[in-house]
Structure 1
């Protein structure tokens, strides 16, 4: 198999040839057709997360081993499988759920793999979709593409299921009550699409890029706010017609967390999704006085991915802008994502 791998953190990916893995047990080997390029890939590529005053969290200290083929938004075609795998046909076009765990603990058996204490996520702790082939641990981690555009379907494995899980942490809410989404990139546009598919009417989108806000307006955002400056919170509150009951921060940096927190009404909830990094200093008395909630949301589980794909199959879930690029241009894709010029999602393709 061929892969585009991180050999050294911060250095360009290198094209390498590795032995094609042979599936055993319940494992399934797929030929990769599409792989989304996610902001998490930038952190893996750079080898660290920013913890603010606590310094950097080195991913090598968290079990990430190089060389590594990144890529966790994967669609591929079934090639072969181990003797314990059932219900598959060669050529089945599948979305690969990447957030796999040990497979034997209570949370994995409950299909909450993303909460496993021994994660084995594809593209993070084992080779992922920036390659011609990928090995899925078992058939339950595969969801048929069906009638969906496979490039868009690939984004559901991370961007889609991540925002679906985060949204489920704030709903139900009255459809006319505004929800703010911070970040109008791939995550934000997918969150906007999911909220609209679930019948929510008022969605305030916040970003530093006017081009991304224009894409959000085209996709149905009812209000948009160009972030920047000390008055960002005030402008969000003005756009929403008051402080908010729910803000989902898809960036989750020091500045975004600050204005997102400050925009909450009494009883409001801030759901933190992004991994940009930094820290948030909170006046502690405000938490009980205003009965506020801050909750982290880490990707999603296989049940949520299947539910999301089922919604998409009905035609109720609008697409997001997709830029297709061939796998050999993976470095270009990562650099475009890093400089903030991507509207929607870049998806690497085999063709």
Structure 2
């Protein structure tokens, strides 16, 4: 991790330049630092083969103050505090035309394919990617751009369900805790949190999980079924390793749904007959759409969304390094958010 000197951009057209006030630290950044994803028996996927160029200024959970706008910007002005939707598409394909930027095959994601928010300033290519967060704590609001959005979108891939149908959340880090908060905000009652960390499980209970499993044994699926009093309707796996995905699959009831979110790597081998006989659904989920972020921010501004713990740290290269090291080791109880020195 090194400091990189870049010129401050001047916005044109619909571009907006923001001074970064907060920047959340995401586990995706640990993969960017490592340079690849684990594909199990298929080896690894190098991020440079996916269009990532180094050196890269990471950071995609960004809250900033507008400092300059292009000549076609109409709705934002210097001094506005805004949350950035970072999962920016190419702008030319059918998915982008349909406001599904995160489905774009040639995405230009902030902090991934273009320089992001671990910086003094960030250039957003279109004002449509900015959200008003008036009334929200900026540090918590920053987490909504990825942790919140990822959880919100994944939850909506298992709902609607009866409130008493068990939904299992594997991984009670920042994203998993937000999923629990979203489920509770939407009126779901039966939520089982699964994590290695006793501290994370305790935080999950405080946010509204009705059951929990410490995933320290060899029979996690059995422990889940026992904690939920039977096979479950849905599992959202925010770890998504070979071990957790297998446990999730084995815990599903007939008609159950598994939503795979985490990027820890590995593979899942499933019996093809059981897929048909049990009418199971396995679905991947990657962040969310701009409309989903708008809905999430609206939920937060209504005061309906419980806050996950936020750990503040300075916005500098050393803090980025330390935060990524903590995430790599695991067990961070919430989300680390970096704060600019004058914010």
| TM tier relative to shorter chain | over 0.9
Q: Aligned partners of 2:240 and 2:61: how far apart in 1?
A: 21
The CA deviation at 1:60 is: 0.7
Secondary structure of the 1:14 match is coil
Which consecutive unaligned segments of at least 5 residues does structure 2 have?
A: none
The CA deviation at 1:192 is: 0.5
> Is the 8 Å Cα contact of residues 37 and 265 (structure 2) preserved in structure 1?
yes
The CA deviation at 1:117 is: 1.6
The CA deviation at 1:195 is: 0.4
Partner residue of 2:152? 164
Q: RMSD of the alignment, in Å?
A: 0.8
The CA deviation at 1:181 is: 0.2
Q: Indicate whether 1:346 and 2:336 are aligned.
A: yes
Partner residue of 1:8? none
Alignment of 1:292-307 (within 5 A): 292-307=280-295
Q: Indicate whether 1:62 and 2:31 are aligned.
A: no
Q: Paired residue for 1:335, among 311, 318, 325? A: 325
Secondary structure of the 1:15 match is coil
User: How many pairs were matched up?
Assistant: 339
Q: Paired residue for 1:290, among 244, 265, 278? A: 278
The CA deviation at 1:81 is: 1.2
The CA deviation at 1:128 is: 0.5
Partner residue of 2:228? 240
Q: Indicate whether 1:192 and 2:174 are aligned.
A: no
Q: Aligned partners of 1:124 and 1:331: how far apart in 2?
A: 17
> Is the 8 Å Cα contact of residues 24 and 143 (structure 2) preserved in structure 1?
yes
Q: Aligned partners of 2:323 and 2:229: how far apart in 1?
A: 38
Structure 1 residue ranges (4+ consecutive) displaced by more than 3 angstroms after TM superposition: none
Q: Paired residue for 2:38, among 31, 44, 50? A: 50
Secondary structure of the 2:28 match is helix
Q: Aligned partners of 1:111 and 1:32: how far apart in 2?
A: 25
Which consecutive unaligned segments of at least 5 residues does structure 1 have?
A: 1-12
Deviation per CA, 1:27-78, whole angstroms, max 9, x where unpaired?
A: 1110010011000000001100000011111001111001110011111011
Q: Aligned partners of 2:4 and 2:296: how far apart in 1?
A: 34
Partner residue of 2:114? 126
Q: Aligned partners of 1:87 and 1:321: how far apart in 2?
A: 32
> Is the 8 Å Cα contact of residues 133 and 301 (structure 2) preserved in structure 1?
no
Partner residue of 1:142? 130
The CA deviation at 1:229 is: 2.6
Alignment of 1:2-17 (within 5 A): 13-17=1-5
Q: 1:228 to 1:341 in 2, by over 3 A?
A: closer
Partner residue of 1:4? none
Q: Aligned partners of 1:341 and 1:303: how far apart in 2?
A: 31
The CA deviation at 1:232 is: 1.1
The CA deviation at 1:22 is: 1.2
Secondary structure of the 1:221 match is coil
Q: Aligned partners of 1:219 and 1:168: how far apart in 2?
A: 19
Q: Aligned partners of 1:151 and 1:111: how far apart in 2?
A: 27
Comparing 63-72 and 336-345, the one that deviates more? 336-345
Q: Aligned partners of 1:54 and 1:215: how far apart in 2?
A: 36
Q: Indicate whether 1:21 and 2:16 are aligned.
A: no
Q: Indicate whether 1:255 and 2:240 are aligned.
A: no
Partner residue of 2:165? 177
The CA deviation at 1:262 is: 0.3
Deviation per CA, 1:238-295, whole angstroms, max 9, x where unpaired?
A: 1111101110001100100010000000100000011110001111111001110000
Deviation per CA, 1:108-152, whole angstroms, max 9, x where unpaired?
A: 122111111210000000001110111111111000111011111
Q: Indicate whether 1:151 and 2:155 are aligned.
A: no
Q: Aligned partners of 2:26 and 2:150: how far apart in 1?
A: 12
Secondary structure of the 1:271 match is strand
The CA deviation at 1:17 is: 1.9
Deviation per CA, 1:1-31, whole angstroms, max 9, x where unpaired?
A: xxxxxxxxxxxx1112210011122111100
Q: Aligned partners of 1:14 and 1:252: how far apart in 2?
A: 30
Secondary structure of the 1:190 match is helix
